[in-house]
Structure 1
Amino acid sequence: MSYSDWMSQLPAELHTTPLFKLAIPGSHDSMSYDLDVHSRIIEPKRLIRFSRIYCLRKVVQIWAATQEVSITEQLNAGVRYFDLRIARKPNDTDPTRLYFHHGLYTRTDVETILREINVWAESHRKEVVILSLSHFEGFDKKIASPLHQHLINFIKEVFGAKLLLKTNTPTLKGCWNEGKNVIVSYDHPSYSHSFNFLWRKITYYYGNSMDRTQITAKLCQGLEKEKSAKYFFVCGLNPTLPHSPSILKYILRICDNFTNVARRGLPKMLRWVKQQYSKTPMNIVASDVVTRGNFVATIVKLNLEKRQ
């Protein structure tokens, strides 16, 4: 079954359900498939000074890449939430050019990807895409304001009338009636409060561990807080590498990489999702390797359980 248009195919009674009450597949570190091994290291901080060492950059790339396919392929697979971490390269000759990042910078700039998303949204007008922009690495005090203004102006320009304005109860039917299908969450209160087309930060719950037991325990704590939620929130299934010497037991596995680790653990995490869904609400469920392990199908089908 194709999930490229799954929202428009939901039962009619779900068309008036608030979007923050639907189960929506999302991708964690959505642009990490595009990391540039030739860029400098920007995290972990302790490795920045070793950026000139190619083999070290390669290790960072291998263990920071959480996704395997492009944004358009993720959209076609049914993903509707994107975790987009923005950064500016120091000393870039273009003062307003921005990239994405996760350990390294991406090869592709922000404007190119937002245009790509807009093209897809234009041809799938009944599918609502949620973009979560955050981090803003390299937005130093002297240049932060013009960078934010440039990015916000570009968002308004590229998506135009497709941008859904802030409302208390966004629904599929409401979006369709207004001809809107792009929601932009901007993780900076100074700007999200100032523009009616920028939604506030979306809380992202995650386990901050490589251990599934610890991940699910922390997720349960977060989901308990959202039982009466009236806004978007994310349940992040993604494992997280430790920021300690114990990271070596993972990155020294010569024939392994992060996407393989995530892929191996995903089936058990999805079984937990199906069990947990009857106990606590889930809205956006984000994962690494989103085209693997029946991830999208599992999350979309949670919506049908509400009818039983």
Structure 2
Amino acid sequence: MEKVINHISQHRLAENFHALHHQQQTLLLINAWDCASAKMIEAAGFPAIATSSAGLAWSLGFADGEKILPEVHLEALKRICNTVQVPVSADIEGGYFRNDIHRFSIFIEQLIDTGIIGINLEDGYTHEAHLNDIALHTTLINIAKEMGYKKGINLFVNARTDAMLLPGTIENKIQTCIERASAFAKAGADGIFIPFIKELETIAVLKSEIQLPLNILATDTLPFNKLQELKVNRVSTGSRPMMFLLNHFRKLLHQVKIENIPDQLFSYEITYNEINSWFL
């Protein structure tokens, strides 16, 4: 049964999501890519869910990098929000219509109508060493916030900068991050997401210089306990959970091909009835 969006409850979910960025402990967000993964994250006790732009696109037959049709993305987000009761934040990459302010505004309004309470909005172009003009990105942030208020919610805008992909010294990249974080905050951003950092020392500098809640992408060189010690506000897993499962599925396929069907295929904790009950 489709859940009707209640803007009062959506407002509360948004406020709860904001609060999770201002607590003592680091918010760990496991990124979902479809309804089943979102439901599993909720059932495991995580207080909020973020979507993976790559994972969601791949699950629907599109490449990452704003290749998924906006209307298909919106429908997928609506289905995810209908499936869970916790706050859901959407990675919308650059917002599809970064160069068309009117269409961007309409897209954000449609996005909020899916039940989403937060967004990631990036200033890069599919991991390329090129960033939006800072004036353009601050305009997009401001529009997203205003559309949220228009719809009665305090939309959490997590402004992402891909400054770490720029050429140059790490000192220059850090300075660009700091300058952009300051401008994004003035435009109304609620958090700053800086992926592609490799060293804890860089995070320590950014944390000391940036006032916005800091979001870091989990990697094998950035232990979660160390990020907690640095008081990083939010850690995201990105497309890694989906990639992890696909990696194991590939191993299963290889095993089936050379050894026949393994016993593990029939040994599992989660049952058909449990999964099916999520969607009744």
Q: Normalised by the shorter chain, which TM-score bucket?
A: 0.3 to 0.5
Looking at secondary structure, tell me which structure has more strand per residue: 1
Looking at secondary structure, tell me which structure has more helix per residue: 2
Kindly indicate whether structure 1 or structure 2 has the higher relative contact order, using CA contacts under 8 Å at least 6 residues apart.
1
